[in-house]
A and B are shown apart, each in its own frame.
Chain A
Amino acid sequence: MKQRPLLILAAALVAAVAPPTRAASAEHSLDDYRRFRALSIDLAGRAPTRAELAEMESPGFDLDKWIDAHLEGPAYVERLERIYMDQLRLEVGPAFQFTPPATTLHRETILGPDGKPIWVYYRQNQRRARVETDGEFCLSQAETGQLFPNNQPPRGTAIPVKQKAIDAATVLVRPWWIYRDYRAASPKQRYGLDWGSEASGYALIKEMVFEPDGITPTTEVRVCREEAQAAEIGHIYASGRGAPVKPPPKKGAPAKPGKVPPPPPPRPVPPPVAPMVNGAKPMDGMGGLAKAPVAMGGTPKPPALQDRLKPPPGDNPYAVQHKGEEVSCRGVVAETMTIDCGCGAGLEHCLPGDGFAQDPRAFSFPTHIPLGLDLPFASGAQNASSWNKLWWSQEARHFFTRLFGTDRDFREVLTGRWSAVNGPLAQFYRSGALASCCGRERQFKMMDESEPLFRPAAVPTDLLPMDTDKWEDVADRGPHAAGLLTMPAFLAKYASRRARGAAVYSSFLCKSFVADHVDLKPSTEPNLMVREGCSTCHATLEPLAAYFSRVEETNWVFLPKEQFPVENPVCKKNAQGKMPGFCDFFYDGAFSDAKAGSLRGAYAAPDHAERGPAGIAADVTAQPEFASCAVERVASSFLGRPVRDDDARLLESLRGTFVSSGYRMRPLVKALVRSSAYLSANDDRSSLRAPVTLGTAPVAAPPMGAP
Chain B
Amino acid sequence: MKRLALVAVATLATACTRPEVLPRMPSAPLAESGHTALDTTPKQDRRLVPAEAYVRTYLQLFGGLAPLEVQRRARGGDGGSLFDTWDDYLSALGFPDYRLDLPRGTQTNALMMAAFERLGVALCDRAVEHDLKSRPPPFVKDRLVFAFEPPGGAVTAAAFAPGFDVLHRTFLGYPARLGPAGREAAFFELYQQTAARHAEKGAVKSRFTPSESGWAAVCYGLVRHPEFHLY
Contacts and interface: CB of A to CB of B under 8 A. Distances in A.
Contacts of B150: none
A701 to B, nearest CB: 11
Contact of B42 (A90, A377, A683, A691): A683
B98 A89 contact: yes
B55 A694 contact: no
Interface string A661-687: 000000000000000000011111010
Contacts of A692: 37-38, 40
> Interface on chain A toward B: helix, strand, loop, or mixed SS?
loop
B43 interface: yes
> Interface on chain B toward A: helix, strand, loop, or mixed SS?
loop
A640 B53 CA distance: 14
A257 to B, nearest CB: 48
B104 A371 contact: no
B50 A41 contact: yes
B48 interface: yes
Contacts of B149: none
B57 interface: yes
A375 B44 contact: no
Contact of B231 (A41, A370, A393, A698): A41
Interface string B24-55: 00000000000111111111111111111101
A194 interface: no
Contact of A92 (B60, B99, B230): B99
B30 to A, nearest CB: 15
B103 A371 contact: no
B72 to A, nearest CB: 12
Given A91-B99, A375-B66, A370 B46 contact: no
Chain B, interface size category, equals 35 or more
B113 interface: no
Contact of A82 (B45, B48, B50, B66): B50
A622 interface: no
Contact of B174 (A34, A681, A698): A34
Interface string B188-231: 00000000000000000000000000000000000000011011
Given A41-B49, A46-B60, A640-B48, A30 B174 contact: yes
Contact of A694 (B37, B57, B60, B66): B37
A177 interface: no
Interface stretch (A3-11, A48-56, A472-480): A48-56
Interface in B152-189: 166, 169-170, 173-175, 178
Contact of B55 (A78, A371, A684, A696): A371
B48 A377 contact: no
Contact of A86 (B103, B147, B166, B169): B103
A42 B48 CA distance: 12
A50 B53 contact: no
Interface of B: 35-53, 55-57, 59-60, 66-68, 71, 85-87, 90, 95-96, 98-101, 103-104, 106, 147, 166, 169-170, 173-175, 178, 227-228, 230-231
Minimum-distance CB pairs A-B, first 5: A640-B47, A33-B174, A91-B98, A46-B56, A682-B46
28 contacts: A30-B178, A33-B178, A37-B173, A37-B174, A41-B50, A41-B231, A45-B52, A45-B53, A45-B56, A50-B147, A85-B98, A89-B99, A89-B101, A93-B99, A93-B100, A94-B99, A368-B87, A370-B55, A377-B71, A377-B86, A378-B68, A379-B68, A393-B98, A682-B231, A683-B42, A686-B178, A691-B41, A694-B35
